[in-house]
Amino acid sequence: MYKLSGIILLSVFASFANAPASPACLAESRRASQGGKDLNLTIIYDNNPYLPVPILSGQAGNKELETRWGFSCLIEGLEKTVIFDVGGEGSVLLKNMEKLSINLDSIDIVILSHIHYDHIGGLSDFLDKNPNVTVYMPKSLPKSIKDEVKEAEAKLIEVHKPIKICKNAYSTGELGTFIKEQSLAIKTSKGLVIITGCAHPGIVNIVKKAKKMLNDDVYLVLGGFHLCWMNGYQIKRIVKGIKGEKVKKAAPCHCSGDLARKLFKKVYGKDFILAGAGKKIKIEDAF
């Protein structure tokens, strides 16, 4: 009897051992073997509050964060921690970082997109707290801003042509004519993640540049799209252009405008991301 039970038990164990793994187990195993590192994006500074519930529900936005005209986004998950733009008011930037439990000293790199104050105004206050960073700014920015970085004894890198920031992260280089602007392109397992300040050179042009530069499709575009001054017909053409470039997800904020956000949501549906101050986006298994 005991011998028979042992045979039965061995048979049961063998069947378990030979059974195919569940999809969840396979995904976990694949993630472990590949490293499965996530990319985390946090909007620190924006003129739009992030509303986690429908606007018509009567619910308020995130009262913990201040909203101001401008933009700043924290990027975590790369080999270096990056802050893209620093908003217009340093006090608001630092307060929002504190409320979001962001360790200012953990930031290694500051990227400034372009000359406008609502993207660089918080630089002085930031460098007062953490000068141990490398600041990437367009070469076209005035000497006074460059001197501000040097006086804080931070490292300055002037960007003109496309440049590698760190592993998987690249600047598009200065684009545009009258207002020159750089955007950030991050190469992930799902495609490119593009972060823009105001997209003065044109959001479709930026997408095309990043795709050509890194020879990859675009998973997500996040940031200011500079559409708030356009009418519905013009915005629809831009949305169509972005969709035509096979951009998977869109998260327009800052200077994109309410009408543009509405039209992007209509076209993108579940792939539209409502973004504003306090919004966090996690891209799993990005690297």
> Is 10 a member of any domain?
no
Instruction: Say what the pLDDT of residue 9 is.
Output: 37
Confidence label for 15 from pLDDT (cuts 50, 70 and 90) = very low
∠ CA(67), CA(229), CA(88), 5° rounding?
30
Report the distance separating Cα 37 and Cα 136, nearest Å: 25
Report the distance separating Cα 254 and Cα 232, nearest Å: 18
**pLDDT exceeds cutoff 50 at 21:** no
> Is 1 a member of any domain?
no
Of how many residues is the chain composed? 287
CATH number, domain of 124, equals 3.60.15.10
> Is 145 a member of any domain?
yes
> Is 275 a member of any domain?
yes
Report the distance separating Cα 121 and Cα 115, nearest Å: 9
> Is 17 a member of any domain?
no
Mean pLDDT, to the nearest integer, of 66-71? 96
> Is 27 a member of any domain?
no
Rounded to two decimals, what is the model's pTM?
0.85
> Is 256 a member of any domain?
yes
Confidence label for 36 from pLDDT (cuts 50, 70 and 90) = confident
Domain count of the fold of the chain: 1
pLDDT tens-place string over residues 203-252 = 999 999 999 999 999 999 999 999 999 999 999 999 999 999 999 999 99
pLDDT tens-place string over residues 140-187 = 999 999 999 999 999 999 999 999 999 999 999 999 999 999 999 999
Report residue 83 as tokens. Answer: 């802050």
**pLDDT exceeds cutoff 60 at 129:** yes
Provide the 8-state DSSP code for 85: -
Element (H, E) at 129: helix 123-129
Domain that holds residue 247: 37-283
Instruction: Say what the pLDDT of residue 242 is.
Output: 98
Instruction: Say what the pLDDT of residue 16 is.
Output: 36
Mean model confidence pLDDT for the chain: 88
> Is 31 a member of any domain?
no
